[in-house]
Amino acid sequence: MTHNHLASLSNDFLEHLEIDLNRSQKTIENYNHYLERFLNFSKITQAKDINLDLIKKYRLYLNRLEDNKGGKLKKITQNYHIIALRNFLKYLAKQDIVTLSAEKIEVGKNPQQEMIFLNFDEIERILNEANKSTLQSLRDRAILELLFSAGLRVSELSSLNIEQINLKTQEFSIIGKGSKMRVVFISDSAKTALEKYLYKRVDIDPALFIRTNKIGFKKEDDLRLTARSIQRIVKFYAKMAGIIKDVHPHTFRHSFATDLLANGADIRSVQAMLGHSSITTTQIYTHVTNQQLRDIHKKFHRKKSSN
């Protein structure tokens, strides 16, 4: 295998992502999956053989690809494949390897998905369902309160340890997506919920959120709640509260951001609190708040002008 063999270059690129760019293991796994799919489709071995005609055929292949259930790849997933390929080509160009210019490949527009978020009344209804004095109920209330208070990703919430949380200052640092550190804040109600939950804990497990049923677990580390378990907890209380929206932990993050913007927070501050590397990602929330303003204008301005 020569050094210019595409499979070898692909491995070099993945190592570059890990060592030089400090990308997460999940990101590297995704890039590996996307590039393997391209290499398996193209059957080429040399970088110089990548051309626009091949890219066109690959896009058509992605658009027609079906999983074992007959489902098609979402447009956003198709775009992730193309973005991975573009970044690979940019890397090759920096290594002075002759190949297609990344700029010649256009990434399709992602279809705008309707963002689901909860208003404050809906949040309150969900919180009020976790109202018992059992360890499980106190834990669940603390999870729900912290999700809304801090706008955490579910993976961030799951990874928290007790020692990270400073209830006195009501803030703590967390390393989020892309290994970026940010400070998150705990509201008064979230602080109270966490205090009640931690007071009830009698174990020595370092994890902040643990399984309350210890039967069948061989070591303390097994007690940490997974992201999937937290997702089930959130869905359970949303259903109990009679919320018909499809509620996930990320819905609380959306609600956190829209609540801040609707109450006058500036977008740069919200970007920092969410841990977004790009302001563009945060701007999706302004569309939601703009829609809220539009609805208010329609409701009240028309009434006023008709009098």
Question: What's the burial of 59, exposed, middle or buried (CB within 10 Å: 0-12/13-18/19+)?
Answer: middle
d(CA 18, CA 203): 37
Instruction: Return the half-sphere exposure (C-beta side, CA atoms, 13 A cut-off) of residue 124.
Output: 3
Catalytic residue flag (residue 287): no
Catalytic residue flag (residue 58): no
Catalytic residue (one of 37, 177, 201, 248) = 177
- Among the listed residues 230, 177, 182, the one whose alpha carbon sits nearest the alpha carbon of residue 207: 230
Catalytic residue flag (residue 90): no
Q: Letter for the amino acid at 217? A: F
d(CA 160, CA 284): 27
Catalytic residue (one of 139, 224, 254, 276) = 276
Kindly calculate the radius of gyration of the chain based on its CA atoms and give it in whole angstroms: 24
Q: Which tokens is 227 given?
A: 């992201």
Q: How far does the chain reach from its first CA to its final CA, in angstroms?
A: 81
Instruction: Return the half-sphere exposure (C-beta side, CA atoms, 13 A cut-off) of residue 296.
Output: 7
d(CA 190, CA 165): 12
Helix 135-150 × helix 227-240 angle, to 10°: 100
Catalytic residue flag (residue 254): no
Catalytic residue (one of 253, 294, 297, 299) = 253
Catalytic residue (one of 153, 191, 211, 254) = 153
Catalytic residue (one of 31, 34, 80, 285) = 285
Catalytic residue flag (residue 253): yes
Residue with tokens 């091949």: 54
As annotated, the active-site residues are 153, 177, 250, 253, 276, 285
